[in-house]
Amino acid sequence: MLKHVHGSDVLHCDCSVKSIRQQDAGQYWCEVEFHGLTFSSDRAWITVEGVPHIIQEPQDVATFPNTPFNLSCAAVGPPDPVEVLWKLGGLPEGGYQQSPSVLHVPGVNSSIKFYCEAKNSRGVSVSRTGTVHIKVLPAAPVGLQVRRITDNNVTLSWNPGFMGHSEISSCVIQVMRTSGRRWNLPQQEVRVPPHAHNLTGLRSYSNYSTRVSCVNEVGPSPFSPWVSFITPESVPSVAPKNLSLEMSEEQLSLRWARLKEDELQGKLVAYKLQWTHGGEPQEPLLFKENSAQISGGARFFNASIQVAACTSVGCGPWSPPMLALPPSGPQVQEPRSHMTVGLLCGFLGATIVGLLLTVAAQRRGKETKFGSAFKGPGPESSVFFTAARSFSRNVADLHESTCWTFLCVSLQWTVSASAAS
């Protein structure tokens, strides 16, 4: 309000506070701005008197049975002084104490309620009601689920149940694999939060079950119910073993060992036969069983054959290559030097002829194991022998073989004749 007093303008301001409360107490002043200048009035104090104002409410407590603990409560005026009385289980605990107050409790065996009363000359204020909780084992975790499955990794998540008035510090995860029989994997302990974990190193295409237990200061909770899941398929981990074959010009027969369930890592789609001939890959063949009979075996002569197992994801490693040799084929040998053999035959021939002439001069008409040789006057004498039978002779080796046969027989005849003389 603007007033004109003694030739000057005076600005008059009023301030009112309705329903004053304890927090309205404090200093008050006014300020005026005039031509860019600020002017402040003297300061005045407002004191609000009433029942005590509680500035520190007692808090809930979690403790072990018969373990001492403290409770705190504080209140202020005005007017002062303010005194505090504790109520434990609805009954006064001791007498009034000057605020702030700390109550020492030697221990309780069960949960109990408590609060404090603050009193001054204006009246009494009551704090919130707190609770003393006894720490117990936590309840089983809830909501265990498989969040994601990728390859051989599985992400789990869960929620803690009732924590037993104590913070959950860790959780234990148990995993079981069922493949004809149960396999319990080593349990894993993880720190929490977060209440999630990634299981790694699992087998492909396998049935698993998992459950979780969580631990607080008192001990572990019961386990959650089992949750089952199946890991996705993968390619087989090993190649088929014990590959064997039998072949003729009409048919090729193959057999190999079946892969075990753990080795397949999926559902068998087929066995794939890969073969190369002359270094050139041929059209692969597929078979449902661990054996095969293929007509037209001659086309596989000298071919390299391998086998792999396949699932819907793909094929596993190949077996070691096996060479399909023709049945009862001639053995390949290194060719001899015809010049060396010829020289050897000539040398041995000359030696044997010399020995024959010597023996003939000493003893004519001696009987040998091959017949009568060098008899007296009469029909022409001869030597009889039967040569060994020879199979699969090559034209290139014919002269060579004849030479060796002649040398061997002649040498045997000479030795016999020498013995007879």
Which of 296, 324, 352 terminates a domain? The answer is: 324
Pair 356, 397 in one domain? yes
- Cβ-contact 132, 108 below 8 angstroms: yes
Backbone angles phi, psi at 58, to 5 degrees: -65, 140
Total structural domains in the chain? 5
- Cβ-contact 197, 188 below 8 angstroms: yes
State which residues form the domain around 317.
Answer: 244-324
Pair 59, 36 in one domain? no
Pair 320, 348 in one domain? no
Q: Quote the pLDDT of residue 8.
A: 60
Give the type of residue at 182: R
Rounded to whole angstroms, how far apart are CA atoms 378 and 408? 29
Pair 315, 256 in one domain? yes
The CATH number of the domain holding residue 79 is 2.60.40.10
Q: What is the pTM of this model?
A: 0.62
Decide if 354 is inside a domain. Answer: yes
Would you call 406 exposed, middle or buried from its count of C-beta atoms within 10 A (0-12, 13-18, 19+)? Answer: middle
Q: Quote the pLDDT of residue 297.
A: 86
Q: Quote the pLDDT of residue 9.
A: 62
Pair 162, 210 in one domain? yes
Q: How long a stretch of residues is the chain?
A: 421
Which of 134, 160, 191 terminates a domain? The answer is: 134
Pair 42, 59 in one domain? no
Q: Please give, one letter per residue, the 3-state secondary structure of the chain.
A: CEEEECCEEEECCCCCCCCCCHHHCEEECCEEEECCEEEECCCEEECCCCCCEEEECCCCEEECCCCCEEEEEEEECCCCCCEEEEEECCEEEEEEEECCEEEEECCCCCCEEEEEEEEECCEEEECCCEEEEECCCCCCCEEEEEEEEECCEEEEEEECCCCCCCCCCEEEEEEEEEECEEEECCCEEEECCCCEEEECCCCCCCEEEEEEEEECCCCECCCCCCEEEECCCCCCCCCCCCCEEEECCCEEEEECCCCCHHHHCCCCCEEEEEEEECCEECCCEEECCCEEEEECHHHHCCEEEEEEEECCCCECCCCCCEEECCCCCCCCCCCCCHHHHHHHHHHHHHHHHHHHHHHHHHCCCCEECCEECCCCCCCCCCCCCCCCCCCCCCHHHHHHHHHHHHHHHHHHHHHHHHHHC
Pairing mode, strands 291-295 and 251-255: antiparallel
Closest Cα partner for 217 from 299, 328, 105, 136?
136
Q: What is the pLDDT along the chain (421 residues), one digit of tens a residue?
A: 545 445 566 666 777 777 887 778 888 898 888 888 998 888 988 888 889 999 999 999 999 999 999 999 999 988 999 999 999 999 999 899 999 999 999 999 999 999 999 999 999 999 999 999 999 999 999 999 999 998 889 999 999 999 999 999 999 999 999 876 778 889 999 999 999 999 999 999 999 999 999 999 999 999 999 999 999 999 999 999 999 999 888 899 999 999 998 899 999 999 999 999 888 999 999 999 999 999 988 889 999 999 999 999 999 999 999 998 887 643 333 343 444 445 555 666 667 766 666 655 555 544 444 343 444 444 444 433 333 333 333 434 444 444 444 444 444 444 444 444 4
Q: Quote the pLDDT of residue 334.
A: 35
Decide if 152 is inside a domain. Answer: yes
Decide if 127 is inside a domain. Answer: yes
Decide if 393 is inside a domain. Answer: yes
Decide if 100 is inside a domain. Answer: yes
Q: Quote the pLDDT of residue 181.
A: 74
Q: Quote the pLDDT of residue 413.
A: 43
Pair 271, 308 in one domain? yes
Which residues have C-beta within 8 Å of that of residue 408, sequence separation ≥ 6?
none
User: What radius of gyration do the chain's Cα atoms show?
Assistant: 55
Decide if 333 is inside a domain. Answer: no
Pair 40, 60 in one domain? no
Closest Cα partner for 240 from 168, 179, 322?
322
Pair 160, 226 in one domain? yes
Pair 347, 316 in one domain? no
Decide if 309 is inside a domain. Answer: yes
Decide if 329 is inside a domain. Answer: no
Pair 272, 306 in one domain? yes
Which residues have C-beta within 8 Å of that of residue 149, sequence separation ≥ 6?
155, 229, 231, 232
Pair 16, 82 in one domain? no
Q: Quote the pLDDT of residue 71.
A: 97
